[in-house]
Amino acid sequence: MEKTTTRPGRPKAQPVAKAQPEATQQEQVPFTSVTPKKPLPIKRKESVNQNSEFELIRKSGIIFMLPQKGITVYDESRDSVRELRYCPNEPSIWRDEQSENATRQSVIFRDGRIFVNKTQPNLRMFLDKHPYNQANGGNMFRLVDTKRDAEKELEKEFMLTDAVAMVRDKDIQDLLPVAIYFGVNINASVSDIRFNLLRIAKSKTKEFIESFDSPQVRTRSIIQQAADYQIIKLSNDAVKWFDSNSMIVSVPVGQEAIDVMSRFCLTEKGASVLSTLEERLERLA
* Separation of first and last alpha carbons in the chain: 125
Tell whether 164 and 128 lie within a shared domain: no
Q: Which distant-in-sequence residues (6+ apart) come within 8 Å of 196 by Cβ? A: 179, 184, 185, 188
- For residues 203 and 281, state if they share a domain: no
Q: With respect to residue 266, please indicate whether it lies within any of the assigned structural domains.
A: yes
Cβ-contact 149, 196 below 8 angstroms: no
In a domain, 14, yes or no: no
Whether 192 shows a pLDDT value over 60: the answer reads yes
Same domain, 74 and 113: yes
The pLDDT tens digits of the residues spanning 15-60 come to: 555 555 555 555 565 656 667 777 888 877 766 567 888 888 877 7
Q: Are residues 183 and 265 in the same domain?
A: no
Is residue 46 domain-resident? no
Domain assignment present for residue 38? The answer is no
Strands of the chain (E only): list them: 52-56, 63-65, 72-75, 80-83, 108-110, 113-116, 141-143, 232-234, 238-241, 247-250
The pLDDT, as a whole number, for residue 284 is: 85
Cα(70)–Cα(99) distance, rounded to whole angstroms?
A: 17
Domain boundary among 99, 126, 144: 144
Q: What angle do CA 22, 23, 24 make, to 5 degrees?
A: 110
Q: Is residue 183 part of a domain?
A: yes
Provide the 8-state DSSP code for 82: E
In sequence order, the 6+-apart residues with CB closer than 8 A to the CB of 240 are: 232, 233, 246, 247, 248
Q: How many domains would you assign to the chain?
A: 3
Is 70 exceeded by the pLDDT of residue 5?
A: no
**Residues 130 and 57 grouped into a single domain:** yes
**Domain range enclosing 245:** 214-285
Whether residue 4 lies inside any domain: the answer is: no
pTM comes to 0.56
Q: Which of 190, 213, 236 is the last residue of a domain?
A: 213
